[in-house]
Structure 1
């Protein structure tokens, strides 16, 4: 404070005002830093248990692990490996019509010195069946097309067999089907596909030929995908989802959109813009859409329809609220009510009933509504326009639960509607697996072809068709077609 005594009253006032301005600036900066730290802490706290992040991100440095799920039996609530309670069992069944029988006799000599080959056969005393696959070796099959002359003088030439092109030497349709299957169904890169086929069969197709099979197969299943898309538009309920994928340039990010049921799968490569969603199948759907609350699904430009908001996403958002407000009871109450309704709906569906028990449904819905009201009373809305005011964590979620209760609980009133879009999550997972294995996809056109084939194969598998047969027949010009839906 040396020298302050020599300052005049006016100078001291000016100095105090300057210091007050600096303090105000520091307080403002400190407040901004606190908000920034809070945002960063919240960002770091996101994981697969309290947000839509994939579980693969839980292992990133600094990420907290998701909380353990409620115990469902067993010690500590941990799921045992192998078959789960209630899951259908599998076993190796005895075949009464084996493909091959191999007779085995004792060989060598008896202790008395006699040759056992001359011994009396007393019959079979033990039988053992083993399921085995033959060793695959590519065989070169030459097709000699003969020409014959009839007595009348006409000459007739033999036609090429199905699947044999006009080229002098070609790869058979079975090998072609293996190439498509390995690349599309199992995300095996082209050169590794060549190596794998060479190891398994001895045939060595070129990398260019193998890569070209994606385009050929996509063209072969084109009409099947047209039919799949048309049948989806007629479905009573459709699950939708989207996931980012890297296509083309190293930093180019697109989105793979999927619309599916337990019978059909259809993919489209696009982005998360409304223009892309207009090209998506959603605009033509007539049934209920199950989705993750992304805003484009609710756009009036896509038409009016019924929605089911994914309960799995809602439960994760509520888990975020439980972690943000550890002393609040409403997040757990709403979670418990949602899980109770899901369990009751699944149980009624398994028992072949048209709906869940009325008393059970009323109890859980009442608990759900009370939890929402309590949450709204504790997490107050901040007045102001949405673009400039950030609402407290959980406030917007609670308003969705209140204002869109019909879309949240639609599954509880109609058992045909699933509570989650897990079907879409499963159908979009191959794209995430592919990126882990191969990284980005080099061409947008090839990516579109890849998922056209994938949608065809997924739909065929859902109908119980053999995938390899579906590929082979498509390459022969006889693509598998989904049958007409059974009337409800």
Structure 2
């Protein structure tokens, strides 16, 4: 409960329940407290700005300027209403038409969809400086995560690219291509450790060090476990990655100085044996096209340095994102 409520309402019994005499607040000997949190009814408030013209005794007429932020049109919407609409559009991902409807329902302002859509370029211009700063800080960072996913704008499917750390995020819309990833202005200039999935376009960035994302690998291994439940190699590889990730996390947290040699050997051996068994159970097919399982296993084998980089120097190398831990019975290795 709030120590100092904004409003206090006192409720006094109208009369004594014994004799019927009238009672007032002065008769109070104590009270029970209840607090209710609510928001005030919101309605649009119209402020008229009048810029006067004044005539001096010398005959000169001087005009007062309109305050900064007041639009040139006779009627406009103020910064608070515009900020609300931009918040709904950008942060809450509410479509333009529904943003206009919600703004009208909440505030009473009869805004149009065209007005709501016109706010985005204005807002983008206002945050251009901070966005450039975010871009520069991402480029200078030691570790960077990159990914991409589909989104829809109207009836069209577009690709949304992200470059981020634990503190900064930069999003941009572009095709799913090297040029599309470059359009964010971060990856072409990055020189640190880039954590990403196995999309081939990321491999083209040769100026940075690569770490394959453990969350993506875990998803792929889990999917193959569902496809081949009788096999155990996927569980063994996932168990090894989870164990190494736990040890690396302890190093970064300062709980241990380094991953113990025996632990490192245990997990690396399980990782390599799991791959070997998986490859034996999923031999190569004729031609270039291979099965999903074979493609993953060859990637784990051929790019082991990028998969396990987080354990090479865990004090400075980033986590490959959280790798889900799965039980694995070492008494029955693959």
Same fold (TM over 0.5): yes
- 2:219 matched residue in structure 1: 316
Secondary structure of 1:394's partner?
helix
Any conservation in 1 of the 2:251–2:314 contact (CA below 8 Å)? no
Deviation at 1:146, TM superposition (A): 4.9
Residues 360 and 159 (structure 1), Cα distance of their counterparts in 2 relative to 1, 3 Å cut:
farther
Q: Distance in 1 between matches of 2:266 and 2:291?
A: 29
Deviation at 1:353, TM superposition (A): 3.9
1:329 aligns with 2:232: yes
- 2:309 matched residue in structure 1: 410
User: Paired residue for 1:296, among 191, 201, 204?
Assistant: 201
Any conservation in 2 of the 1:241–1:421 contact (CA below 8 Å)? no
- 2:104 matched residue in structure 1: 198
Residues 205 and 421 (structure 1), Cα distance of their counterparts in 2 relative to 1, 3 Å cut:
farther
User: Paired residue for 1:259, among 151, 160, 163?
Assistant: 163
CA shift digits 1:131-190 (9 cap, x unpaired):
322111111122334567899999875543342223332111111111111122222222
- 1:283 matched residue in structure 2: 188
CA shift digits 1:411-467 (9 cap, x unpaired):
233255132399xxxxxxxxxxxxxxxxxxxxxxxxxxxxxxxxxxxxxxxxxxxxx
- 1:394 matched residue in structure 2: 293
Secondary structure of 1:257's partner?
strand
Secondary structure of 1:177's partner?
helix
Residues 393 and 163 (structure 1), Cα distance of their counterparts in 2 relative to 1, 3 Å cut:
closer
CA shift digits 1:364-399 (9 cap, x unpaired):
2332123223333444445x7xxx333355333222
Q: Distance in 1 between matches of 2:26 and 2:182?
A: 81
Q: Distance in 2 between matches of 1:334 and 1:118?
A: 74
TM-score, normalised with respect to structure 1: 0.58
Q: Which has the higher contact order (CA 8 A, sep 6+)?
A: 1
TM-score, normalised with respect to structure 2: 0.82
Secondary structure of 1:203's partner?
coil
Secondary structure of 2:151's partner?
strand
Q: Distance in 1 between matches of 2:153 and 2:247?
A: 43
Q: Distance in 2 between matches of 1:360 and 1:147?
A: 83
Q: Highest Rg: 1 or 2?
A: 1
1:135-284 aligned at under 5 Å gives the runs 135-146=41-52, 158-247=64-153, 250=155, 252-280=156-184, 281-284=186-189
More helix by share: 1
Secondary structure of 1:333's partner?
helix
Secondary structure of 2:115's partner?
helix
Any conservation in 1 of the 2:249–2:314 contact (CA below 8 Å)? no
Residues 414 and 121 (structure 1), Cα distance of their counterparts in 2 relative to 1, 3 Å cut:
same
Residues 343 and 107 (structure 1), Cα distance of their counterparts in 2 relative to 1, 3 Å cut:
same
CA shift digits 1:247-273 (9 cap, x unpaired):
57x4x5432211111222222222223
For these two proteins, the number of residue pairs brought into alignment is 318
Deviation at 1:346, TM superposition (A): 4.2
Secondary structure of 2:24's partner?
helix
Secondary structure of 2:159's partner?
strand
Q: RMSD over aligned Cα, in angstroms?
A: 3.1
Q: Distance in 2 between matches of 1:109 and 1:324?
A: 76
Residues 321 and 114 (structure 1), Cα distance of their counterparts in 2 relative to 1, 3 Å cut:
closer
Residues 106 and 277 (structure 1), Cα distance of their counterparts in 2 relative to 1, 3 Å cut:
closer
Comparing 302-311 with 159-168, greater Cα deviation is found at 159-168
1:28-107 aligned at under 5 Å gives the runs 94-98=1-5, 100-107=6-13
1:340-359 aligned at under 5 Å gives the runs 340-346=243-249, 349=252, 351-353=253-255, 357-358=259-260, 359=262
Deviation at 1:278, TM superposition (A): 3.8
- 1:428 matched residue in structure 2: none
Residues 243 and 390 (structure 1), Cα distance of their counterparts in 2 relative to 1, 3 Å cut:
same
- 1:64 matched residue in structure 2: none
Deviation at 1:279, TM superposition (A): 3.4
User: Paired residue for 1:113, among 7, 17, 20?
Assistant: 20
